[in-house]
Amino acid sequence: MMRAAVYWAPEIADPLHALGSAWLGRDAETAAALRQPDVPGIAEITADARGYGLHATLKPPFRLAQPYGVLRQAVAELAASRRPFALPPLSIQNLKGFLALRETAPCPPLHALADACVTGLDAFRAPPDEAELARRRRAPLSPAHEAMLAAWGYPYVLTEWQFHVTLTRRLNAAEHDAIQPPLHAYFADIPATPRLVTEICLFTQSGPGAPFLIAERFPLGGTV
């Protein structure tokens, strides 16, 4: 029942790693629980995101169709085949009711990296079972989303993909208005700091309900 995923996550030395992990209340690198900022309701509105860790999805979570060691080698080789690139400044944005860090300008290399992870690693993905499909369809899916779900096991990939680092659950209007000021004050100008994408992360989940952890970081343009 183990699952894996390929995510972008801030580098350890990037202040966004410590700041974002504390906002969520957990460090996906160390598995340590962290004290969250003193914001009313923060533990509840970050509960779902806390389980996944601070990240942006490249290859969505999947059950393994091949041994983990073979997947690990493939992720290393994929990373080695790509070159580091500049990530546009990030900002806090509303994405369908969720507050998330998103890029402020188009970034073709970022989209190409996500596409490569989805297609290049798909041989390692076990097909979703009926329960997984039903869960994905709880939210209404467009025909394009249904096509992605059928082909790639997840509706929001390739042409339907949007880079985002989730910071809250879906909020109603009142919650959104209440959380925006402390959220912006907490992150300040750190998200907009210039940074390079120099690695991708292989996350693993040991079983249903378990938190996702960073199993390994793989450098772009590095060696296997």
Please give the Cα distance from 84 to 2 (Å, whole number).
30
Q: Is 56 exposed, middle or buried (0-12, 13-18, 19+ CB in 10 A)?
A: buried
Query: What's residue 70's pLDDT?
Result: 97
In this structure, are strands 85-87 and 195-197 parallel, antiparallel, or unpaired? antiparallel
In a domain, 224, yes or no: no
Please give the Cα distance from 21 to 35 (Å, whole number).
9
In a domain, 212, yes or no: yes
- Give percent above pLDDT 70 in the chain: 99
**Residue 5 clears pLDDT 70, i.e. is over it:** yes
Q: Is 101 exposed, middle or buried (0-12, 13-18, 19+ CB in 10 A)?
A: buried
Span 129-169, pLDDT tens digits: 888 888 888 888 999 999 999 999 999 999 999 999 999 99
Its domain, for residue 30, covers: 3-218
| Among 34, 44, 156, 42, residue whose Cα is nearest residue 95 | 156
In a domain, 62, yes or no: yes
In a domain, 39, yes or no: yes
**Residue 75 clears pLDDT 50, i.e. is over it:** yes
Residue type, 72: R
User: 18: domain CATH number?
Assistant: 3.90.1140.10
* pTM over 0.75, yes/no: yes
Indicate the pLDDT class of residue 224, thresholds 50, 70 and 90: very low
Count of domains observed in the chain: 1
User: Are residues 171 and 45 in contact, defined by beta-carbon separation less than 8 angstroms?
Assistant: yes
Please give the Cα distance from 197 to 76 (Å, whole number).
15
**What is the sign, positive or negative, of the torsion defined by CA atoms of 188, 161, 14, 98?**
positive
Query: What's residue 222's pLDDT?
Result: 59
In a domain, 223, yes or no: no
Please give the Cα distance from 198 to 152 (Å, whole number).
26
Span 50-63, pLDDT tens digits: 999 999 999 999 99
